[in-house]
Amino acid sequence: MRTPTTVGIIYPDHAAEDEYALAARLLGVDLPVAHVYGTDLHAIPELLDLGAPARLAGGAAALAAHRPRSVMWACTSGSFVFGHDGAQRQVDELARVTGVPTSSTSIAFVAALAAVGVSRVAVAASYPDDVAACFVDYLAAAGVEVVAMGSAGIDTAAQVGRLAAAEVRELAVAHDHAAAEALLVPDTAMRTLAVVPELETRLGKPVLTANQVTIWQGLRLAGATPSSPDLGTLFMRRQDHAHQ
């Protein structure tokens, strides 16, 4: 019997980590989660602290026993808040600790956009405006045009994790834009996997969400290409293998 592909997930605090177990079942892979802890406040100083090298190294150490083929820092805001180049330095430093291909949710969003062949997007963010603006700046530095950005102004990840599916759908639909080729929904604290196919049908475009792109990128880095119609357009396309 073939051993499932293992992608290690470093996840901040507790909110929507059950999405990884759901995806693991759908895809037939192993997605062990190691938690790192800091404040869950959506504020720039706190997010810079959350993504600090020593904290992420602790998460990597907790995953080592699983012998992952790749590792993901499953936090959008705790990566893009460092800026485009800073987010890359963050994962480069973490990769020296993990010893395997390593990436983050912010980097995964850019890779996923390339995979679906679009570069003009709308953003439906849970964050306060100043944090959401950092994501727009990050995307712009990566060559992605943001035609519309809406932010819900939610202060903590715990609050985001309590959003019901209907509230997630409402947030996404309210912040789409006709000129956008795809809709991005950042924040790994938000449960989105179950609503992606419905949103794509309703909006008529790819919908990329934080936990979804994190899982996709981790599998891509591990050289695995499982697909599932239950996880949206991104998981119905041929994946190219990558090394970061």
| pLDDT tens track for 35-71 | 999 877 788 889 889 899 999 999 999 999 999 999 9
CA-based end-to-end distance of the chain: 28
Q: CB within 8 A of 101, min separation 6: which ones? A: 69, 70, 71, 95, 221, 222, 242, 243, 244
**pLDDT at site 243:** 42
With residue 84 as reference, give the H or E element that holds it.
helix 83-98
**pLDDT at site 240:** 47
Per the DSSP assignment, residues forming a β-bridge with 41 are 156
Fold of 116-209: Rossmann fold (3.40.50)
**pLDDT at site 1:** 56
What gap in Å lies between CA 104 and CA 10, rounded to an integer? 9
**pLDDT at site 153:** 87
pLDDT at 2 over 80: no
| pLDDT tens track for 129-145 | 999 999 999 999 999 99
pLDDT at 244 over 70: no
**pLDDT at site 7:** 98
Average pLDDT, integer, range 217-236: 94
How sure is the predictor about 157, in pLDDT bands with cuts at 50, 70 and 90? confident
What gap in Å lies between CA 15 and CA 152, rounded to an integer? 17
Say which CATH architecture domain 7-108+211-236 belongs to.
Answer: 3-Layer(aba) Sandwich (3.40)
Number of Cβ within 10 Å of residue 85's Cβ equals 9
DSSP conformation class of 97: H
Q: Do domains 7-108+211-236 and 116-209 have the same CATH topology?
A: yes
> What's the whole-number average pLDDT of the chain?
93
What number of residues does the chain have? 244
The closest of 231, 122, 235 to 186, measured between CA atoms, is 122
Higher pLDDT pick, 22 / 153: 22
| pLDDT tens track for 161-218 | 899 999 999 999 999 999 999 999 999 999 999 999 999 999 999 999 999 999 999 9
Cα distances (angstroms) measured from residue 209 to each of 56, 169, 186: 22, 12, 6
**pLDDT at site 237:** 61
- Tokens 């998460």 belong to 59
Higher pLDDT pick, 239 / 104: 104
Cα distances (angstroms) measured from residue 54 to each of 50, 96, 187, 196, 238: 10, 12, 22, 34, 35
Q: What strands, in cross-sheet order, belong to the sheet with 33-36?
A: 33-36, 7-12, 70-73, 102-104
Phi, psi of 119 (to 5 degrees): -140, 5
Average pLDDT, integer, range 75-89: 96
**pLDDT at site 35:** 96
Q: Are strands 102-104 and 70-73 parallel, antiparallel or unpaired?
A: parallel
How sure is the predictor about 241, in pLDDT bands with cuts at 50, 70 and 90? very low
Higher pLDDT pick, 239 / 228: 228
Domain segments of the chain as ranges: 7-108+211-236, 116-209
| pLDDT tens track for 9-33 | 999 999 999 999 999 999 999 999 9
Q: Is the pTM of this model over 0.85?
A: yes
